[in-house]
Amino acid sequence: MEQYFAGQNAKQFEEKLRPFISQIRLEGNLEPTKAEQDHAFLIQLVYWFRRSFKWDSDPRCEGCGSETINQGLDTPIPSELQYGAFRVELYSCRYCLRTTRCPRYNDPLKLLETRSGRCGEWANCFTLYCRAFGYATRLVGPFLLCGIHTRD
Ligand SMILES: [Zn+2]
């Protein structure tokens, strides 16, 4: 049997496939079911979300954009508590020494605005998108460990 690779003998490969494609068109039902369309959309949603949501494990300095060093936790201020940030991490800039606050928001609507975080924020926001598009999903996990994920 001949082997064909992408980019090699493409014309020859198409010629060999043509009769099979015609036969599939005659015999097959090429209309995807609703379940197949939903599945395909969900896969596209995952890829889009992975590109659009910033994984923020090492926050950059708000002032100069340089690397920071974790300085521990601070008490949330009212504007952070308003969006469920009961945990606020502090980071000190390696260059200008400015302190950057990193509130860990739990409100998915706030996460639509910030579009960044770690596992908890990621799963929380992604679950919101899934539910908005009609997928029966729920947020699962122990919230203090890095094990939160979205389930159907
Ligand atoms: Zn800085």
The more confidently predicted of residues 15 and 76 is 76
Q: State the Cα–Cα distance between residues 50 and 112, nearest whole angstrom.
A: 13
Residues 1-25 have pLDDT tens digits of 555 555 556 677 777 777 777 777 7
- Structure letter (DSSP) for residue 141: S
Under the banding of pLDDT at 50, 70 and 90, the label for residue 145 is very low
CA of 71 to the centre of ligand 1 (A): 14
122, 97: one domain: no
Question: In this structure, what CATH number is given to the domain that contains residue 83?
Answer: 2.20.25.10
The more confidently predicted of residues 104 and 147 is 104
Residues 91-125 have pLDDT tens digits of 999 999 999 999 999 999 999 999 999 888 999 99
CA of 3 to the centre of ligand 1 (A): 56
Residue carrying structure tokens 């390696």: 94
Whether residue 98 contacts residue 61, with contact meaning beta carbons closer than 8 Å, is answered with yes
Residue 38 pLDDT exceeds 50: yes
| Domain assignment present for 130 | yes
pLDDT at 92: 97
Three state DSSP letters for 27-90: HCCCCCCHHHHHHHHHHHHHHHHHHHCEECCCCCCCCCCCCEEEEEEECCCHHHHCCCCCCEEE
pLDDT at 70: 95
Count of structural domains, the chain:
2
pLDDT at 33: 85
CA of 58 to the centre of ligand 1 (A): 13
Whether residue 79 contacts residue 105, with contact meaning beta carbons closer than 8 Å, is answered with no
pLDDT at 102: 94
pLDDT at 115: 93
In Å, what is the CA distance from 28 to each residue of 14, 34, 35, 40, 112?
19, 17, 18, 19, 42
Residue 146 pLDDT exceeds 50: no
Q: Tell me the residue range of the domain where 87 lies.
A: 57-104
| Domain assignment present for 45 | no
Q: State the Cα–Cα distance between residues 103 and 9, nearest whole angstrom.
A: 55
* Mean pLDDT computed over every residue of the chain: 85
The more confidently predicted of residues 10 and 60 is 60
112, 152: one domain: yes
CA of 102 to the centre of ligand 1 (A): 14
Output phi, psi for 10, to 5 deg.
-60, -45
